[in-house]
Amino acid sequence: MPARAELVPVARQSSTRLALRMADHYFAATPSSPSQPDAVQLHLADMQMTLLTDRGVFSGHRVDPGTMALLRECAPPPLEGNLLDLGCGYGPLACALAHRAPGAVVWAVDVNSRALELTAANAAALGLANVRAARPEEVPPETVFTGIWSNPPIRVGKAALHELLSAWMARLAPRASAWLVVNRHLGGDSLAAWLTDRGWQVRRAASKSGYRVLQVTR
C-alpha cells in the first residue's frame, strides 16, 4: 500500500458520490501500476476456483484472509433475486456467491476499472453467467438486493465508508442481510457500533484471526 495518497473527488456517482482517486491505491479508478497478471486459488469446502488477478487491485497475490473468513462464515445466499458484492475487486466474493446461487443475479460493483475487467473475465472463465460486473452508477437505481456481501474499502476513510454503506444498505430488501467483514484493528468493532447506532441489528457471526464477520439486518 502506498504511503501517500492523492485524495481527489473525481466523479459524482448517482448512487454514492464517493469515487475517490488515490494514486496507486487499490481503489484508483484506473490503476497506474503496469499490468502484471497473476492468479490465485480460492479453496472452500464447497468450491475450488482459480481467479485471475493483477497489480493495482486489492490483495492480488492471495485471497484476502478477511474475504476467506466471510465466505466461510456467512449463511448460504438467497437462491434468487439480486445479490450485491460491494467493492468486488477481482471478484472472489462475486464468483463464490454466483456459484452458490446460480439462480440469482450477482452485481459485482467497484470503482476500479481493472478490478471490474478481472471480475468479468473470472466469471466468464468459470461459466458464471449470473455475474454483472458494474460501476456503481451502472446498477439500475430501482434494484433491491436480497443480500449484500462486502469486504468494504476501509481505506477510503470513515466518513466515505459510512456514506458508501448507508447508500447501498438502504437498498436491502426487508429481512435481508448484509454480510460484512472488517479487521478488528481497522475498526471492525467501531463500525458495528456505528451501524447499531443507526438502527441496524448487528450480529457478530464470527471473529476469526482478527476479522469480524458481521451480519447486519434491519
Residues of this chain that bind ligand SAM (CB under 6 A): 16, 18-19, 26-27, 58-59, 64, 67, 86-89, 92-93, 109-112, 115, 136, 151, 153, 156, 164
17: its cell numbers? 458520490
The residue (of 48 and 175) whose beta carbon lies closer to ligand SAM is 48
Q: What is the DSSP letter of 29?
A: S
Unique residue bearing C-alpha cell 473527488: 9
Residue nearest to ligand SAM according to CB distances in the complex: 87
User: From the CB of 214, what's the least distance to ligand SAM, in Å?
Assistant: 15
Question: All 3 cell numbers of residue 109?
Answer: 460493483
Minimum CB separation of residue 191 from ligand SAM in Å reads 13
Return the residue matching grid coordinates 479453496.
43
Beta strands, E only, 90-210: 105-109, 131-134, 145-150, 172-183, 201-208
Q: Measured from the CB atom, is 104 or 114 closer to ligand SAM?
A: 114
Residue closer to ligand SAM (CB basis): 20 or 175: 20
Q: How far is the CB of 218 from ligand SAM (least distance, A)?
A: 22
Closest CA to 88 of 39, 31, 26: 26
Nearer to ligand SAM, 144 or 201 (CB): 144
At its nearest, how many Å lie between ligand SAM and the CB of residue 26? 5
Q: Which is nearer to ligand SAM, 162 or 207 (CB)?
A: 162
Contacts (Cβ under 8 Å, ≥6 apart) of 10: 19, 20, 21, 29
Find cell 456505528 and name the residue: 194
